[in-house]
Amino acid sequence: MKGSRERAASELFAALYPRLAGWCRRLVDDDGTAHEIASEAFTRLWSRWTTVAEPRGFLYVTAANLVRDHWRKLERERRAVRRATAEVVVGPPNEQADPSVRLLVQSLPERLRVPILLHYYADMPIREVAALTGRKEGTIKADLHAAREMLRAHLRRSLDRTV
CB 84 within 8 A of CB 120: yes
Chain-centre distance of CA 60, in angstroms?
A: 21
Q: SS3 of 162, please?
A: helix
Q: What is the DSSP string of 48-63?
A: TTTT-S-HHHHHHHHH
Nearest 5°: CA angle at 114, between 108 and 119?
Answer: 115
pTM for this structure?
0.51
Q: How many CB atoms lie within 10 A of CB 87?
A: 10
d(CA 148, CA 70): 26
Q: Could you read off the pLDDT tens digit of each residue along the chain, which spans 163 residues?
A: 567 878 888 899 999 999 999 988 888 889 999 999 999 999 999 999 889 888 888 898 898 889 888 888 888 888 887 777 665 544 444 434 445 776 787 778 878 887 887 787 667 789 988 887 788 999 999 999 999 999 888 888 877 776 5
* Residue 150, Cβ density class (10 Å: 0-12 exposed, 13-18 middle, ≥19 buried): middle
